Structure 1
Amino acid sequence: MVNALNGNCPSPFLQETLFPSVGGFIDGRYCEQVTLGNSTYSCCLPCPLAEWRYDTDLHAKIDVASWISVAILPLCIFLLVSYAVLPVKWTHRHYLSICFTLGICCMEIAFIIPLGAKPEQCYNAITPNDMHSDLSCAFSGSLLLFGGWMVVIWSFIRTLAFHLQVCWEVVLGPKFMWIAFVSGFGIPAIGLAVMLVLTGVSFRFGEICHINVTNSLYDYWIPVMIFAAASLFFQLSTMIYCIHIYLRSLFDKSAASSTGSSGLPSYTSSVRTVTARQAYRRVRRVLQLQWRGVALVSIIIANVIFFAVVFINLDNAVAPTARNVKTATPWLVCLATTGGDRASCRTYAEAIGPNEATLLAVVILLSLVGFWNFILFARPSMFVGWLDFCRSRVRGRNEFVSADANSRFADHKGFEMLTTTVKTPEAFMRSPSPTQMDAQDRSRSPMASPSPTFERAVHLGQEARYVRPSLSFSGPRSPSSQARGWDHQSTFAPGHERE
């Protein structure tokens, strides 16, 4: 069977004309034109290509990234559930963090799908599967690209928001939030649709589908790099501004000398000095609140640049160009002369594209994005909030009155209880109305004691008499019944009638 598929091609190459021209990802075949005598044949390496270029157990090593995603996805779900259930005082949730975490979940799910689906990488002996021939490839590739788009876009939105708050003192309101929602979900959706139509995804290395080579530079890598570069620009400009504000307030000695002399404002310090100190306090406050987002965005930008460089290098290495054919010729000749001995030809394969360690680093770093998100945004207060949430649930479930409460506390005379069943008027302290106070005051002499209403109090079901302190002026006093005369001789004021 192998000899029949080899055709006129040397082993281990297979003759392309012996395979159908439909089904699978035809452009994913790695074929070269070989001239034998007066005839030219298209000879292809067997699928999957990565196992010829790298070690045969490459897919097993890439599965490590999938198992890492299995461990990290529950952490991302924990953050989302905490944002949804706990109050904001425990989680400090924000729509930027929530949407960023959703994008990371898409990427983690893309790595987990192959573990359950166990997809077949090859459609036939020389043709890899793509999104049209394998359903798991379509889902894993789409989720990976959509999650990558979301992470990049929301990193850009976060850096833009941070830049506007720090450098321009802009208060972000609902308008910015809705623009962020439309951009953060709309751009990845449009970009994914364009990529699937113009480029598509297929099995390139491992059991996770990645974007194809055709037009991928224009519909994915260049737009992603543009947003990543813009995020890097805003991040660096914001950091430079913060350093400038810090240095300007640090070397400002006029404000310190002017404020140390007296508590009054001094006119010797300029307005610029006061503004620098105020700006430094404001910037420091914003940095204390958003340093987690700044650190995460920095990690994402570094990863995106690294991913783009590696994948673009890989795409250029497998593109059917004259330069690539010249570079790969020693390796292909070695395979043909040794009958497909991969170990003997490994030294020649090192000149073709990135090495195995680089590919594994890309895949593992992709799966570790959720880990950094959890480390930076899982605040200790979240765990305190969950503890409080569980305690409130248990306390609410156990709050009931026992059936033997009356028998257990039958002797309740010693307890102070407020009840509305007391019929005696002495059981309540009612404030008299103004008319009653006026009537009582008119019926009493100026030195009379206050009414019994103010002298009685209820304590433990017994009546107690109120004892007025000797120098107390809190009780009501009626005005004097006799009119006070005006003795102008005892003062220096003139009298009403002159003598």
Structure 2
Amino acid sequence: MSENDLRGACPPPYYQEDLFDNGGFVGGRFCQNTPTAGNASCCLPCPQASWLYGEEIQDKIKIASWVSVAVLPLCVFLLVSYAVLPAKRTHRHYLSICFTLGIGLMQIAFIIPLGTKPDQCYNEITPNDMYSSLSCAFTGSILLFGGWVVVVFSFIRTIAFHLQVCWEVILGPKFMWGALICGLGIPIIGTSIMLVLTGVSFRFGDTCHINIEKSLQDYWIPLISFAGASLIMQFTTMGYCVHVYIKSLYDPAPTTNSSNLQSYTASVGTLTARQAYRRVRKIFKLQWRSNCVVLVILANVIIFAIIFIRADKQLKVTPENLENATPWLLCLGLYPGDRTKCFDYAKDVGPSEATLLALLFLLTLVGFWNFLLFARPSMFVGWLDLFRRKETAQFEFVSADARKMREDAHSYEMLSSNGLPSYKSPEPFAKPYVRSPSPAYTARTLSPDLNNHYGRDARYVRPSMSFSGPRPPSASQNQGRDWDPEATFARAYPYSSR
């Protein structure tokens, strides 16, 4: 059928709804019964965002996708650093790894449409959804699942921080496995329920977003609940930190910074305010980055939820919304070729263009804030050490014997751990080098003559935790202890060095 045939009794630019089949996302149509068209249901052309904000809105939305292209390598850098570099360089933690994975999924959801270039519309009045477009199914599912992961792990991180600071709980393997199960299990269950009951479709841009029907019950309310609980717990923990700090200012008890070890008679209940403040400050110093990221994420989630809920309420086809949109729809009928003249009437229909673009850019910049706070300078130092280690690996040696192969080691003398030298003969036909005996064996077998031969005496090394030392024999000890070597089988003189 031609375009004029599809319009039926509806004036341009509208199309008559009963002339189309039920393919695509029928719930995404914006239709109204028109008395002037014989009470026929006339529908606004797809995509609706172009009629609300102009044709340029599609190009502006693509800028957010290119921002994701620039931000995704930052997330990949963090994940590769966590996997390759040692923990002392990255300070990796399973909560940070899962948190970064969730952000990376959200970035991928905006990048996929740049390659697939999906068609937003199934026909002239119907947008595509996850059943009619494979790209829509992937982008919508990944975006919403990533949002779930980020919010749930933000909640788990606030719980961990609260338990460590306020209750002095040491988080062990049980908490780790519980966090991983809940942090991944809840998003999987929540995303599955949302896709079955609500689904995703093209609403604005080439990335699919959640539909309006039942989205408040199965997505936004659970998400806001986790975000709200996280904020309450975060502020409660921060309030406790402020309380401990103020209390430590008025604590007259003497403290010391010479040792972090408490007395064996002390207990957690007998900690002074200054000691509690030092403990809280140490924990906060280790986790301030993650706390800042959590606050940024939760603030963004609440803003997204408020804007999306408000937009769903305005765009849902109800008698009240149709009445508010009547001036705009009539304007489009009067000026079908110039929709710019009707933008002033479209302000009451949906969110403004500036609000919509700001929402998308905030969503794509989450990965940048994550990199800015989690990328430590020690990571870059670790990568430099890794590359330098590969370059110098061929010059490394594993024992002291390998040094004799170097050109600068013509003749040298090595000292063993007990202070005795071991020689390497400089003559070319000398006997093979023999490793010096162990310190324990040397202390038992070497005679004083051998020590004198090398010009140094064997010294007594006092153990670090010993309170004794060599003492000369006293006169009382020598009384009655004279003996005649000839009366025994002992030698009268020490062993000779021959």
After alignment, is 317-326 or 336-345 more displaced?
Answer: 336-345
The one of 385, 388, 402 equivalent to 2:382 is 385
Question: How many Å separate the matches in 2 of 1:207 and 1:5?
Answer: 26
Report the counterpart of residue 29 of structure 1 in structure 2: 29
- Superposed CA deviations along residues 136-167 of structure 1, whole A, max 9, x for unmatched, are 11111111000000000000000111111111
1:320 and 1:399, CA in 2 relative to 1: closer, same or farther beyond 3 A? same
Cross-structure match for 2:17: 16
The whole-number CA distance in structure 1 between the counterparts of 2:175 and 2:292 is: 22
Tell me the SS of whatever aligns to 2:34.
Answer: strand
Residue 2 of structure 1 and its aligned partner are, at CA, apart by 2.6
Q: Which runs of structure 2 are paired with 1:139-218 in the superposition (5 Å)?
A: 139-218=138-217
Structure 1 position 300, deviation (Å): 0.6
Q: Is the 8 A contact 2:413 2:423 kept in 1?
A: no
Q: Which runs of 5+ in 2 are unaligned?
A: 257-267, 415-421, 460-468, 482-498
Amino acid of the structure 2 residue aligned with 1:306: I
1:255 aligns with 2:248: no
1:128 alignment counterpart: 127
**How much has 1:455 moved relative to structure 2?**
2.5
Contact 2:411 2:424 in 1 (8 A): no
SS of residue matched to 2:324: helix
The unaligned stretches of length 5 or more in structure 1 are 260-270, 438-449, 458-464, 487-499
Q: Tell me what 2:466 maps to.
A: none
Which residue number in structure 2 is paired with residue 267 of structure 1? none
TM value normalised by structure 1: 0.81
1:382-416 per-position Cα deviation (integer Å, ceiling 9, x unaligned): 00111111111111145599xxx999949935676
TM-score normalized with structure 2 length: 0.81
What is the CA distance between 1:275 and its match in structure 2? 2.4
Question: In structure 1, what is the Cα distance between the partners aligned to 2:52 and 2:123?
Answer: 19
**Secondary structure at 2:202 match in 1:** strand
Aligned residue number for residue 314 of structure 1: 311
- How far does the alpha carbon of each residue in 1:332-368 deviate from its partner, in whole angstroms, 9 at most, with x for none? 1111122353111111101112101111011110100
Compared with structure 1, are the counterparts of its residues 483 and 326 closer, same or farther at alpha carbon in structure 2 (3 Å cutoff)? Answer: closer
Identity %: 56
CA deviation after TM superposition for structure 1 residue 456, in Å: 2.6
Using the TM superposition, give the Cα deviation of residue 327 of structure 1 relative to its aligned residue in structure 2, in angstroms.
0.6
Instruction: Return the letter of the residue paired with 1:317.
Output: Q
The residue number in structure 1 matching 2:218 is 219
Q: Does 1:305 align with 2:264?
A: no
* Counterpart position of 1:4: 5
Contact 1:429 1:453 in 2 (8 A): no
Following the alignment from structure 2 to structure 1, what is the Cα–Cα distance between the partners of residues 196 and 397? 63
Contact 1:131–1:201 (8 Å) recurs in 2: yes
Q: Which residue of 2 aligns with 1:331?
A: 328
Q: What CA deviation, in whole Å up to 9, does each residue of 1:11-41 have, x standing for no partner? A: 11100111112x211111111111237x320
Alignment-derived partner of residue 87 in structure 2: 88
Change (3 A) 1:295 1:433: closer
> Which residues in structure 2 correspond to 1:262-273 (within 5 Å)?
none
C-alpha distance in structure 1 between counterparts of 2:79 and 2:133, whole Å? 31
* Corresponding position of 1:285: 282
Secondary structure of the residue aligned to 2:312 is helix
2:367 is matched with 370
Q: How does 1:433-472 map to 2 (within 5 A)?
A: 451-457=448-454
Partners of 1:48 and 1:19 lie apart in 2 by 16
CA pair 451-357 structure 1, distance change in 2 beyond 3 A: closer
Q: How many angstroms apart in 2 are the aligned matches of 1:413 and 1:245?
A: 65
Tell me which amino acid in the other structure corresponds to 2:92. R
Distance 1:454 1:124, change over 3 A: same
Q: Which deviates more, 276-285 or 337-346?
A: 337-346
Count of matched residue positions in the alignment of Structure 1 and Structure 2: 442
